[in-house]
Amino acid sequence: MKKRFEVCPAAELPPGERTITDLNGISVGVFNVDGEYYALKNDCPHQRAPLCMGKVTGTTSVEHTGAINWEDNGHILRCPWHGWEFDIETGRSVFNPNKVRARSFETTVEPADEEPTESEADCSSIPDECDCGSSADEPPVATYDVTVEDEMVVVYL
C-alpha cells in the first residue's frame, strides 16, 4: 500500500515552479507543469546527481537535415551534472525513453488531511425540526456555499 505525503498547499507551487522535499528518507522533486503536478526522485539514473535541481527547459528535435525544432518547453528536466534530459511527466529519458528513466511517483491535489473536529464528528445533536415558522408541507431548505480550501499537493510513495 502506498503511503500518502502532503507536500505543500497547491497555491504555494504555481506553474513553472518546483519544490524538493524529503519524503520518508527519499529526496523528491515536485513540479507544477502547466497546472499539473509531477514528482520525480531527486536522483539522476546516470551518475546519481541531484536531478531535480537541474534546469527546467525544452528540447530539440530534428525533422530532417537542417530543420531543428524547439519543443516541450517547460516539460523537460536537464540534469545539472551532465545534461541528460528527462520528461518531467513520465520520467523517461529524452534520448533513450525505453531504457533510461528517472523514478516518478503518483501526485495529486487533494484536500488537506485533517482529523475531524468535534463539531464535524457530532452530527447527532442536530435537531430534526426547526423553529423557523415553516409549515410541515413546505419544509425549509437552507443552502450554503461549499468550497474546498487548503488543497494540498500530495505524493504517494
pLDDT tens for residues 25-52?
999 999 999 999 999 999 999 999 999 9
Which is more confident, 137 or 116? 137
Beta bridge partners of 40: 29, 104
Residues 6+ apart with CB under 8 A from 23: 5, 7, 155, 157
Beta bridge partners of 18: 31
**Structure-derived torsion over alpha carbons of residues 57, 61, 67, 73, reported in degrees to the nearest 10:** -30
- Is residue 135 scored above 60 in pLDDT? no
- Is residue 69 scored above 80 in pLDDT? yes
Tell me the average pLDDT of the chain: 85
Sign of the alpha-carbon dihedral angle for 112, 117, 121, 123: negative
Task: Cell 530532417: give the residue.
Answer: 64
